[in-house]
Amino acid sequence: MTPPAPARPVFLVGSRDDEHISHLARSIEALGVDTLVVDTLAFPGQTRLALTEGLDGITVNGQRLGIPGAVYLRSVYTHPLAFGVDADADMDADWRTTLVAFREKATLLRGLLGRWEALGVPFYNPESTSWRIQKPLQLALLAQAGLPVPETLWTNDAEAVRRFAAGRRVAYKPVGGGAATRALGPEDLSEERLAALGAAPVTFQALLPGEDVRVYVLDGEVIASIRILSQAIDFRQNEERVESFALPPEVAAQCLRATQVLGLRWTGMDLKRDAEGTLRILELNESPMFLGFDARAGTDILGHLARGLVQAARA
Ligand code: ADP
Ligand code: MG
Ligand code: MG
């Protein structure tokens, strides 16, 4: 037997304190490949980065880095609202300087990730696809490709909301995130309530009453499909049963196509069944959590992802 080709290390970009990073590091090391955590939560407080004008002139904590074999991108923590960031005290003291500091951090980190992408390193997922992930574009691209998505309206136009909501059940949720999905009630269509759209736009969507499904796709393959049975409209705080199940082949094909349309190497997608029983795509996440699903549904998304990253690093 010939030993497998030596692999360059896999870089994990995120927080050392994020279990997704620490579990992946352990699983990849167990497969005999080195990992390096670029701790973006601890940057610039602790993590020291130095970039020169050469594309590969990159030093982390005083160590000159070689070119990674693959990069797993969990989070860059470039906004005070990002999950895991605690900037309350800094924002209270001086929000303007704090925002400027976050923007400076973001610019350097995006530049760093872009360098590895420019060097041809496989990215899970590439920064260059993230413009397609914004939901008002992502769902339109999926619809354009003939994939089933719910009828949706993103707007701050009260009249458009009234027209959209006439004669059917509607769900509403944030455009970007930060709040749960709720059913739109008659009281939400009052003048007063709709005036809130003057502060921020909102997503309105045909309400899908059926089961929630989560599908993970990695390198052109469905690696896990899970259904969540819940009474509540937003399953996240209200799961009742989480179980692995076999996806019908035509739905699996739609999931692969959706992943390809958005240019992702890996994703966790949310689907929900409409009243007629069709599974419609709510979204593809570019950095989905997976440990909770592995624990509850008995899937091995962690193992698949670790092997996928190792394989990419050996290629
Ligand atoms: P997020 O990015 O916040 O996860 P999602 O679109 O996945 O946004 O919505 C979160 C959850 O809310 C979904 O998984 C689903 O349970 C529920 N939900 C979202 N949209 C609808 C809808 N149109 N009808 C019914 N439930 C919905
Ligand atoms: Mg979701
Ligand atoms: Mg999401």
Average pLDDT of the residues of the chain? 95
- Tell me the per-residue pLDDT of 184-227, one tens digit each, with 9 for 90 and over: 999 999 999 999 999 999 999 999 999 999 999 999 999 999 99
In ligand 1, which atom is closest to the CA atom of 150? 23
Q: Is residue 154 over pLDDT 60?
A: yes
> What is the rounded average pLDDT of the residues 262-283?
97
- Tell me the per-residue pLDDT of 9-19, one tens digit each, with 9 for 90 and over: 999 999 999 99
pLDDT band at 285 (very low <50, low <70, confident <90, very high): very high
> What is the rounded average pLDDT of the residues 43-58?
97
Q: Is residue 1 over pLDDT 70?
A: no
Q: Is residue 178 over pLDDT 90?
A: no
Sign of CA dihedral 86, 36, 74, 300: negative
- To test the pocket of ligand 1, the residue of 203, 212, 234 to mutate (highest count of ligand atoms within 8 Å of its CB) is 234
Q: Is residue 230 over pLDDT 60?
A: yes
Query: Is the CB–ligand 1 distance for residue 150 below 6 Å?
Result: yes
Q: Is residue 238 over pLDDT 70?
A: no
Query: Is the CB–ligand 1 distance for residue 205 below 6 Å?
Result: yes
DSSP string, 34-88: -EEEEESSSTTTT--EEE-SSTT-EEETTEEP---SEEEE-----STTSTT---H
In ligand 1, which atom is closest to the CA atom of 233? 26
- Ligand 2 center to 283 CA (angstroms): 6
Q: Is residue 5 over pLDDT 90?
A: no
- Ligand 1 center to 60 CA (angstroms): 39
- Tell me the per-residue pLDDT of 294-307, one tens digit each, with 9 for 90 and over: 999 999 999 999 99
Give the percent of the chain with pLDDT over 90.
Answer: 92
Q: Is residue 237 over pLDDT 70?
A: no
Q: What integer pLDDT is reported at residue 240 of this predicted model?
A: 78
Q: What integer pLDDT is reported at residue 115 of this predicted model?
A: 97
Q: Is residue 177 over pLDDT 80?
A: yes
Flag whether the ipTM exceeds 0.90: yes
Q: What integer pLDDT is reported at residue 52 of this predicted model?
A: 98
Sign of CA dihedral 209, 215, 220, 223: negative
Closest residue CA from atom 5 of ligand 1: 282
Among 11, 100, 81, 98, residue whose Cα is nearest residue 49: 11
- Pick from 9-18, 134-143, 225-234: least confident: 225-234
Query: Is the CB–ligand 1 distance for residue 207 below 6 Å?
Result: yes
- 67 close to 8: Cβ distance less than 8 angstroms: yes
pTM: 0.95
pLDDT band at 31 (very low <50, low <70, confident <90, very high): very high
CA 296 to chain CA mean position, Å: 20
Query: Is the CB–ligand 1 distance for residue 291 below 6 Å?
Result: no
Q: Is residue 239 over pLDDT 60?
A: no
In ligand 1, which atom is closest to the CA atom of 177? 3
> What is the rounded average pLDDT of the residues 253-263?
98
- Tell me the per-residue pLDDT of 93-129, one tens digit each, with 9 for 90 and over: 999 999 999 999 999 999 999 999 999 999 999 989 9
